[in-house]
Amino acid sequence: MSTTSKTITLTLFITTTLLASCNAAANATTKPLFPAILIFGDSTVDTGNNNYPLPTIFRAEHFPYGMDLPDGKANGRFSNGKLISDIIATKLNIKEFIPPFLQPNLSDQDILTGVCFASAGAGYDDLTSLSTQAIRVSEQPNMFKSYITRLKGIVGDKKAMEIINNALVVISAGPNDFILNYYDIPSRRLEYPFISGYQDFILKRLENVVRELYSLGSRNILVGGLPPMGCLPIHMTLKFRNVFRFCLEQHNRDSVLYNQKLQNLLPQLEASLKGSKILYADVYNPMMGMMQNPSRYGFKETKRGCCGTGFLETSFMCNVFSPTCQNRSEFMFFDSIHPSEATYNVIGNLLDPKIRGKFQA
């Protein structure tokens, strides 16, 4: 073989090897870490289940909700755009938007890659959902059972359980329990005169949900902690009629204590559930960081929502007649309770490497 032929052959070999390496790297980057994503909880992750026949006032199927979605239409998400669950699913290359399970026209592909069972107004405490008429978090695993039945009908029992075993489960709830049952409406205070007792009750309810999901096949579980509840705009309005809008520090301390207990509980749960991986999702510290140093994240307003006055408006009170801010990305909250898509993006950017670190290993 001539020198020229050897050179050409070597060049082709190197080129082919490099292309194969690049393709392998690209596939490793784009291939989803999980085959599906399954969502349980409240309005922070409800992608539209409350749109469907439920006797609840907690709905976001009207403008200005959804105004920054690709089609600019409200679809049940309590924000101006994507929710944290959508952002996680996008970052993990699973899908861009997670459909609600109660959506009547779900495709087989929707089912294969995961759905949302969450309901705005829900809580771990059944009493919370009784007052809001939302789907109880404790009831959401029953919807999951119906989902599994349909999944088995599409791919068969074995493949369905493989998808369930490897799917990422996200659970996000808790604030409604404390705000609706303890702080603003003291339904549980007679039974639990000290907040620590009620926290323990809620954590036991959460544990029951995790154990039930595990019994149904879930193995990879992400559990969200509480936000700084004392800094939610509506909470400051109802509890602290001060023009300077100070956060309610005691309620923030309650959030910190609950989150510490949750972080202690989850490793114990993981150890007791063979083959499980359970990760705590910190939302408290990222949100406090945004409030303490808003300009770092591009925010100009952290104490009121973008919709209406931003002090009280949420759900039906945030509507087509409510004036909205021009630059939603400068507002930490979209309404008086729920974060903006910009806030969820910050939290998603922080959670993504933690999810990969925990579940990729």
Query: What are 177-216's pLDDT values in tens digits?
Result: 999 899 878 889 989 999 999 999 999 999 999 999 999 9
Residues found in the chain: 361
The kind and range of the H/E element at 172 are strand 168-172
DSSP characters over 318-339: SSTTS-B-S-GGGEEESSSSSB
Listed in sequence order, the residues at least 6 apart from 49 whose beta carbon sits closer than 8 Å to its beta carbon are: 76, 100, 101, 102, 116, 117, 118, 119, 120, 135
* Cβ proximity of 133 and 4 under 8 Å: no
Does the annotation mark 251 as catalytic?
A: no
Does the annotation mark 340 as catalytic?
A: no
| Neighbour count for residue 179 (Cβ, 10 Å) | 21
Low-confidence ranges of the chain (pLDDT < 50): 4-28
Side-chain-facing half-sphere of 108: CA atoms under 13 Å: 6
Choice among 43, 79, 85, 172 that is catalytic: 43
- In this predicted structure, what is the pLDDT of residue 33? 93
Choice among 119, 177, 338, 340 that is catalytic: 338
CA distance 319 to 339: 16
Choice among 329, 335, 336, 340 that is catalytic: 335
Q: What is the dihedral of CA 236, 333, 312, 123, to 10 degrees?
A: -80
